[in-house]
Amino acid sequence: MKKAFLFAGQGAQKVGMARETADLKEVKELFDAAEKKFPGLIELMLDGEQELLNRTVNTQPAMFVADLAYAYKAEKESGAPQAVCGFSVGEIPALVYAGALSLSSGLDIIGLRASLMDKASQKHGGKMIAVIGLDAETVERTAAAHKDCWAVNYNAPSQTVVAVCNESADALIAAVKEKGGRALPLKVSGAFHCPYMAPATDGLSELMKNVKFKLPEIPVYANLTALRYGESEQERKDTLARQASSPVRFTETLKNMKADGICEFVEVGPGNVLTGLVAKNA
């Protein structure tokens, strides 16, 4: 039976996450490396203030560390997976776990991604709103009728997340309710995976020029394409850079993973958001 690790995304963060993994040798080395790159990060992650942890510039490095820590723990407990996938920010630790990126490169990438996405969110503002109970095509049409509003996270057949500017948020919520759906604002600090994040893609593309991006040792399914990362190193770099400003195709990804024979999914990260989405995609 093939198993996949699912690396959690932004929004799942909570103070104290990964504390139960700290005794593992691999996690101690991970914490040390992360602390050198981001002084104070481990203390914030384990014992800090939730409000500060929720800032994108802190959340993304913290989730990178926590996801990897949980992956090492899960491997010890139940064995290695045959494939991996990360949701949004989770894609970077998934690539490190799969051997495509070194830990050092992963830390560089997550640091720049967090910084650029934080700056973009401060410039544009915006919100992420989960639309429940409507199909993706209806959500796409509804979003297109509003200024600076995009369907960006395809989580399940009846759950699609929209990125929207602050000015259009109330009108979008009203339109969703009028069509019989529910609109739930997410606990993130900006409108991600949309054109607002183009500077992050540009910056990551520049950084990638000097990054060694190997073929993963096990399949890694990309948010951008819902397919495995391929043979071309340049294509792998482009795929990861574009991910920051493009939709997350999680429903399609799960279909492709199941078609490839994967039938067990283990969430690595705090919480069980992705496990819940797997159930909704059954």
Rounded CA gap, 158 and 154, in Å?
A: 9
Sign of the CA dihedral with 113 first, then 50, 277, and 216 last: positive
Rounded CA gap, 165 and 167, in Å?
A: 6
Q: Which long-range contacts (CB under 8 A, 24 or more apart) does 71-75 make?
A: 71/5, 71/7, 71/97, 71/268, 72/21, 72/24, 72/26, 72/27, 72/30, 73/20, 73/21, 73/24, 73/27, 73/268, 74/5, 74/266, 74/268
Predicted confidence pLDDT, tens digits, the chain (282 residues): 899 999 999 989 999 999 999 999 999 999 999 999 999 999 999 999 999 999 999 999 999 999 999 999 999 999 999 999 999 999 999 999 999 999 999 999 999 999 999 999 999 999 999 999 999 999 999 999 999 999 999 999 999 999 999 999 999 999 999 999 999 998 788 899 999 999 999 999 999 999 999 999 999 999 999 999 999 999 999 999 999 999 999 999 999 999 999 999 999 999 999 999 999 998
For residue 2, count other CB atoms closer than 10 A to its CB: 14
Question: Which CATH number is associated with domain 126-185?
Answer: 3.30.70.250
Closest by alpha carbon to 273, among 7, 3, 2, 1? Answer: 7
Cα 30–Cα 35–Cα 39 angle in degrees, nearest 5: 165
For residue 134, count other CB atoms closer than 10 A to its CB: 21
Question: Which CATH number is associated with domain 2-122+193-280?
Answer: 3.40.366.10
Q: Where in the chain is the domain with CATH 3.30.70.250?
A: 126-185
Q: Where in the chain is the domain with CATH 3.40.366.10?
A: 2-122+193-280
In this predicted structure, what is the pLDDT of residue 2?
A: 96
The pair of structure tokens assigned to 265 is: 């999914």
Q: Pairing relation of β-strands 159-164 and 149-156?
A: antiparallel
Q: So which residues are the catalytic ones?
A: 88, 193
Note the pTM of the prediction, 2 decimals: 0.96
Kind and range of the H or E element at 131? strand 127-132
In this predicted structure, what is the pLDDT of residue 188?
A: 81
In this predicted structure, what is the pLDDT of residue 165?
A: 97
Residue 146 amino acid letter: H
Q: How far is CA 231 from the centre of its chain?
A: 23
